[in-house]
Amino acid sequence: MKTHTLSQELLRKMDAYWRAANYLSVGQIYLYDNPLLRRPLALTDVKHMLLGHWGTTPGQNFIYVHLNRVIKKYDLDMIYVAGPGHGGPAVVGNTYLEGTYSEIYPNISQDEVGLQKLFKQFSFPGGIPSHASPECPGSIHEGGELGYSLSHSFGAVFDNPDLVVACCVGDGEAETGPLATSWQSNKFLDPITDGVVLPILHLNGYKIANPTILARVEPEELDQFLRGNGWTPYYVEGHEPALMHEAMAATLDLVVEEIRRIQHEARVNGNTMRPRWPMIVLKSPKGWTGPKWVDGLQIEGTFRAHQVPIAVDAAHPEHLELLESWMKSYKPEELFDNNGRLMPELAELAPTGDRRMGANPHANGGRLLRDLVMPDFRKYAVNVPSPGSVKAADAHELGVFLRDVTKLNREHRNFRIFGPDETLSNRLNAVFEVTNRQWDARKQDNDEFLALEGRVMEMLSEHQCEGWLEGYLLTGRHGLFNCYEAFIHIIDSMFNQHAKWLKVTAGLPWRVPIASLNYLLASHVWQQMHNGFTHQDPGFIDHVVNKKASVVRVYLPPDANCLLSVWDHCLRSRNYVNVVIAGKYQAPQWLTMDEAIKHCTDGIGIWPWAGSSELAKDPAVEPDVVMACCGDVPTLETLAAVSILREQLPDLKVRVVVLDLMKLQPQSEHPHGLSEAAFDALFTTDKHVIFAYHGYPWLIHRLTYRRNNHHNLHVRGYKEEGTITTPFDMTVLNDLDRFHLVMDVIDRLPQTGEKGRALKQQMQAKLIEHKQYIDKNGQDLPEIRNWRWN
Ligand SMILES: Cc1ncc(C[n+]2csc(CCOP(=O)(O)OP(=O)(O)O)c2C)c(N)n1
Ligand SMILES: [Mg+2]
């Protein structure tokens, strides 16, 4: 290792800066008052509840001060991602030292008063969380739930050729599934048009209570593992601060120069061989510089350093002294002036302006967000001369629209489509007329649509797709994730975290809104005939609606024109999670574009042409029954049921209501919710409502239990019956088919009398005929396949 990267003077100052960050970190975890220890530490200066994580923090402080040096030396555009986000004291402390914290929160000033508030607010009621939370400037990654740091980092650097994301990966975090596979993201990075991720594997040896795998395999195995994933690792190892500073500085210089060399090679010399990007393995003790032994147990360098290493309370008076001498070991009098402000000679080590990692606009992506150039979605309308007269594959029609969104924004490089492996099978094939899948591994004859640069990102890891997209959005760009409905559950938890992030940022005026996280679930539960039961699961909706109504939107457009209208809206929206579920097979089209726009704007409506003509003629006439539906397949079955009812029981007055899910909630719970009066006007207060729904039926009850007519609401939906079978049989297995819906009406309306009973028998016979036919022929009855609304 080359020595003397750092002059003695710089080394001394950097060490002091690091000590200042460590001092602030301990202060945040422990102190209620007496922030500069100007008087002997008393128990009343210590918080009652001691919360926070020390173990990871000194290592992250060390990384941060060294990143500051290279940012200045090389004028880097860099942000920091804290994989072990529980190192909140490090990122809060460092953004305070560099000045961004006080700029955003003037109340936390750079003086003794501000220091006291900084310490007190941490993990304190009414204060800030202990993680790299949205409140922390410079953060795009909370890191509360471990595993997504590299995915977020890669998402951030796509289409940001000058950006470097320094990503601290916890060695425990590295054991998670998402992180373990995210090392492979380097096969998707274009060295010309994308920036670069610098992973820093923080090999501090431990998790909460266990050693980590990567710290306990042979060094050679670790090296092989990282190289096997395509990285060139550089090692910084030890615990002696002076030696470690020099080693880290020398390594960072090497690594930055290597990154520049690779980029120059690709961008100037045109060498597009996939580079082996550099990374750093930082092997340092967990809880470095903290208490070595407490009550006869070793702390520093063990798992015991993970959280609060010394319990300071009335039961342990001697621990107070331990804490005081620990804090004093950082020599605060050398670090802060009389007013409690960082010494000027140290403050100047930090970069300035937007180069400070806490102030870098990429970490407040809304600041950089520009609207997409949008084609007029009306131009992509399916021509629908009369309801049900034509068929189309909804997702395919959307693909043509997305193709042009891709094309129109190609120059701005701010729109991408993410998905595990399904852009084609989800019928978005039109996008490949204008772009490719981005891919930087080897290519062979017969490969399709692979290129070094492309707007479509496909890796068979839902975690990566989600994490990349989140990172892309958080840094101010746009995109969507297309996925099988059943397998989107894989990222349930990541969705949770992103929705939480959005909820919190909405309350932070300095965080500028970002583009919405858009899901297209185009291979849905009713269209998995060939894949069967494992691929049939509409439960993501149930999961999503648990989240704040101000954040989540779920759309189940009944046809292609509605789907286009919905996507036009989603791609323009901000700070939401939009879940859109759509079919990908040929299906009847119901609404003209004008009708679709009106329907989608209202989110709910009576389809007068579908219901009894008496009702259409005179709005004052009350229906006998309301047939409601939500989703493309339920709408088809409902309309087919209504056509039977209208023919067989012509006196029955049937109203058809088609709606979006969010409409069902009370207005007080969701901004899309219907008022009580509007709900009653559509669903009546006393008539039976037969409701055909795309997903698990109980959700409809959950959303409507307080509505007036709830006791008359009868919901059909997916009740976990599935297999490889015909499309129509899927609905039969779950009692959602037209014949069951007709029988439901008859069962609920005794006034249908003898005619009703006869029709019910006819329906039962139809179901038997259906079963016999598919068992023999392996496809649906011709009258089902060829059914048309008329
Ligand atoms: C997905 C997930 N599982 C479990 C936890 C609980 N947890 C918090 S910190 C931690 C250990 C992390 O170890 P490491 O990544 O090595 O971080 P460090 O040593 O830097 O603290 C665990 C298991 C979590 N936050 N996220
Ligand atoms: Mg660790």
Task: Give distance in angstroms: CA of 20 to centre of ligand 2.
Answer: 22
* Angle between helices 8-30 and 112-121 in degrees, nearest 10: 60
The model's pTM is 0.97
Residue 50 half-sphere exposure toward CB, CA atoms < 13 A = 21
pLDDT value, residue 619: 85
CA dist 176 and 154 (Å) reads: 17
CA dist 69 and 548 (Å) reads: 41
In this predicted model, which residue has the larger pLDDT, 665 or 100? Answer: 100
**Would the pLDDT of 319 be above 90?**
yes
Q: Which tokens is 316 given?
A: 């342990």
Q: Which atom of ligand 1 is nearest to the CA of 143?
A: 25
Q: What is the pLDDT of residues 669-679, one digit of tens each?
A: 888 899 999 99
Pocket lining: 354 vs ligand 1, CB cutoff 6 Å: no
pLDDT value, residue 4: 86
Residue 561 half-sphere exposure toward CB, CA atoms < 13 A = 24
The three-state secondary structure class of 125 is coil
Q: What is the pLDDT of residues 387-420, one digit of tens each?
A: 999 999 999 999 999 999 999 999 999 999 999 9
Pocket lining: 55 vs ligand 1, CB cutoff 6 Å: yes
Q: What is the pLDDT of residues 416-439, one digit of tens each?
A: 999 999 999 889 999 999 999 999
pLDDT value, residue 125: 95
Work out the mean pLDDT of the chain and round it to a whole number.
96
CA dist 399 and 395 (Å) reads: 6
Beta-strand runs (E) in 127-177? 163-170
Q: Which tokens is 295 given?
A: 């009550």
Test site for ligand 1: of 146, 169, 200, most ligand atoms within 8 A of the Cβ = 146
Residue written as token pair 């997916």: 718
Pocket lining: 60 vs ligand 1, CB cutoff 6 Å: no
Residue 3: which pLDDT band, with cuts at 50, 70 and 90?
A: low
Q: Which tokens is 330 given?
A: 């950082």
Pocket lining: 673 vs ligand 1, CB cutoff 6 Å: no
pLDDT > 90 fraction of the chain, expressed in percent and rounded? 95
CA–centroid distance for 61 within its chain: 27
Measuring from atom 17 of ligand 1, which residue has the nearest CA?
170
Q: What is the pLDDT of residues 9-42, one digit of tens each?
A: 999 999 999 999 999 999 999 999 999 999 999 9
Q: What is the pLDDT of residues 529-587, one digit of tens each?
A: 788 889 999 999 999 999 988 999 999 999 999 999 999 999 999 999 999 999 999 99
Pocket lining: 147 vs ligand 1, CB cutoff 6 Å: yes
pLDDT value, residue 448: 96
Name, in order, each residue with C-beta under 8 angstroms of 386's C-beta and a sequence gap of 6 or more: none
**Would the pLDDT of 2 be above 80?**
no
Q: What is the pLDDT of residues 340-374, one digit of tens each?
A: 999 999 999 999 999 999 999 999 999 999 999 99
Would you put residue 127 in left (φ > 0), alpha (ψ -120 to 50) or beta?
Answer: beta
Contact 665, 549 (CB under 8 A): yes
CA dist 525 and 514 (Å) reads: 31
Pocket lining: 206 vs ligand 1, CB cutoff 6 Å: yes
Contact 198, 166 (CB under 8 A): yes
CA dist 243 and 419 (Å) reads: 45
Q: Which atom of ligand 1 is nearest to the CA of 306?
A: 21
pLDDT value, residue 1: 46
Would you put residue 162 in left (φ > 0), alpha (ψ -120 to 50) or beta?
Answer: alpha
CA dist 214 and 7 (Å) reads: 33
**Would the pLDDT of 707 be above 50?**
yes
Pocket lining: 84 vs ligand 1, CB cutoff 6 Å: yes
Q: What is the pLDDT of residues 618-638, one digit of tens each?
A: 988 999 999 999 999 999 999
Task: Give distance in angstroms: CA of 320 to centre of ligand 1.
Answer: 28
pLDDT value, residue 425: 87
**Would the pLDDT of 474 be above 60?**
yes
Q: Which tokens is 588 given?
A: 């009847």
Question: For 772, phi and psi rounded to 5 degrees?
Answer: -65, -40
pLDDT value, residue 97: 98
